[in-house]
Chains A and B, each alone.
Chain A
Amino acid sequence: MTNDHQTILTAASAAAGPMLLLAFGALPAAWLNRHGWRAARTGSFIALASLAFTLLSVVSLVWLGKADFNWAVAGPLNLGVYFDNLSAIILTLVSFLLAVVARFSVNYLAGDPAQGRFTKWLCLTGGSVLTIVISGNLVQFALAWCATSLCLHQLLLFYPGRPGAVLAARKKFVISRLGDVCLLAVIILVHDTFHSWNFSTLFNAAKSLHETGPLANGVEINVICFLLVAGAMLKSAQFPFHSWLPDTMETPTPVSALMHAGIINAGGFLIIRLHPLVTLSPAAMSTLALFGAFTALFASVVMLTHASVKRALAFSTVAQMGFMMLECGLGAFGLAVLHLVAHSLYKAHAFLTSGSIVGLAKSAWTPTEKPNAHPLTIAAALALAIGLTLGGAAVFNVDYRHEPALLVLGCTFAMALALRFGIYGAKHSTSNAWRSGRFLAAPLGWFIFHCIKVSVPCSASTSGSMRNSTHGLEWPWLRCCSRSSCWCS
């Protein structure tokens, strides 16, 4: 690993944003409170500056290529920046959301005596999340991961007199510490097995293990993968650990927006970042897929019954995270990134506008009734889904026995698509059907794209059914992100 000038430029511009935010957050809360509104304006400006630095780093990445920068090496421990396509996507996403949320909270909390303290912890939380994204080694990753949850704890207890807030924050605190224990165990085991914490070294080691086939130290690697899966499930509010998320609604709405859009998906990011490692254990991947699928189904049923906008949105987040974990567990990491970005953007928007729904309802809004499907429509949708998926397999020459992810996700999307067309086609005009069907265009596009990719013989050399995800060609699909909404929302 050489730290040449080009790498340093990319790494420095990527690290500048989080450093700025953390530096602002280090200012004393009492002093910031005295300058409340102006402190919030400054915080919002700093979030905007960090977004500018992020965009600079993305330009630098496109021009100069991936950055793997290491500084202050002391044994296996060092400070590093690992900046590739995945980091660039997530860094841009989170900086953008943070800039929007910081600007939103300037007016949202105007006049609050603790506005300065709020801005301080908002910037610290944002800075920690950005540090997770650009981390170059596992220890730095875990430290930033832990710092994020501790800073978020301060935001959740922004109104410490509210019993609901205290209860929810405690549940979150205990679950987060369990997640930290998982990561700590991973750090120790990874050092025992691979003798390094650097991501690039780990990925190379994992790649060679993929090629050699049956593993000599299989038990240790399985334990590492299961711990990573457990850490991701604890962070992303998966099934047995989900109950804190719908309860954290006592905090100011901008915090909910940032948490649901920028922080909760850190679990998914952990799995996607370390996917060369996690894919070494098929058992861990299957566990992740099963828990993710169950969470998605459980939460999307519970969501239907909630009348409170924010609680329903919280259960929707749980369901979406479950669906993302399912995609990760099936090895569809590209789709998981797409889902992460799309979900973050739409959920941040939904939370920030949730307050306006009341005003809208008071003025002119009449609730539109949800159309019910005739049982025959559902049967037809199922038949169409199976037909589309098998037909797709025939057209593109795909063998589903080697592509379980394509089969499940293809069938699921086709089913949702067919049902939406069925319902809207029967009860509404055709233009409505197109409008609702368009939302599924991006996942369906991904599906067709992967079918083509699989059917091209040269890609057959990639290891097993687990595909390398952050492929350059998948970037065009990210353009459809803001429009694609998943069917469990």
Chain B
Amino acid sequence: MALVALLLALFLLVLVIQTELPEWTNRPFFRAVYVHARNGFYFNTLANRAAALWPVKTSEKEQLKS
């Protein structure tokens, strides 16, 4: 039942965000939230840095230049 309550609360929250976000854009806090959301809360950046650990072969580097 705790899981059910948590899920319902989360869905209500996202419903509110989805419908109200355009109206909130004047407030500084929600502008900041918007920018963080635009960057996917930086999980993609972490994944990209992890992916950079894989060394790029020379032939691929040449292909990237072209």
**Interface size in chain B (residues, C-beta < 8 A):** 34
Q: If the complex has contacts A166-B64, A293-B7, A300-B14, are A372 and B19 also in contact, measured as CB distance less than 8 A?
A: yes
A240, A369, A373, A408: which contacts B8 (Cβ < 8 A)?
A: A408
Q: A166-B64, A301-B37, A404-B1 are in contact. Are A243 and B14 (CB under 8 A)?
A: no
Name, among B14, B16, B44, B66, the residue most crowded by chain A CB atoms within 10 Å (CB to CB): B14
* A166, B7: Cα distance in complex, Å: 37
Residues on B with C-beta less than 8 A from A244 are: 47
Residues of B within 8 A of A419 (CB): 15, 19
- Chain A residues lying within 8 Å of B32, measured Cβ to Cβ, are none
Contact B43 A378 (CB under 8 A): no
A286 to B1, CA, bound (A): 11
The CA of A372 and the CA of B24, in the complex, are separated in Å by: 10
The stretch that binds B, out of A141-149, A167-175, A338-346, is: A167-175
What CA separation (Å) do A423 and B18 show in the bound complex? 12
- Determine the chain B residues whose CB is within 8 A of the CB of A293 once the complex forms: 7, 10-11
Q: Kindly list chain A residues whose C-beta atoms are within 8 Å of the C-beta of B43.
A: 240, 242-243
**Interface contacts beyond A301-B17, A408-B7, A423-B19: sample of 4 additional A-B pairs, CB < 8 Å, sorted by A:** A289-B3, A301-B18, A372-B23, A412-B11
Interface residues on A, range: 35 or more
Q: How far is the CB of A406 from chain B (nearest CB, A)?
A: 10
* Contact, CB under 8 Å: B21 / A411: no
Minimum C-beta distance from B28 to chain A (A):
16
A381 to B15, CA, bound (A): 10
- Which residues of B16-66 are within 8 A (CB) of A? 16-23, 34, 37-38, 40-41, 43-44, 47-48, 51, 54, 60, 63-64, 66
Whether A472 is near chain B, meaning CB under 8 Å from some CB there, is no
Interface SS of B by simple majority:
helix
Q: Does A68 contact B (CB under 8 A)?
A: no
- A120 → B minimal CB distance (Å): 21
A311 to chain B, nearest CB (A): 10
Knowing A161-B63, A174-B51 are in contact, say whether A304-B16 is a contact too (CB < 8 A): no
- Give Cα distance in the complex from A294 to B11, angstroms: 9
Is the CB of A416 closer than 8 A to any CB of chain B? yes
Top 9 A-B residue pairs of the complex, sorted by shortest distance between their CB atoms: A243-B47, A305-B38, A243-B44, A373-B19, A372-B23, A297-B14, A305-B37, A161-B63, A404-B4
* Cβ-defined contact, A167 with B48, below 8 A: yes
Residues of A within 8 A of B1 (CB): 401, 404
Given contacts A167-B51, A243-B40, A243-B47, contact A408 B4 (CB under 8 A): yes
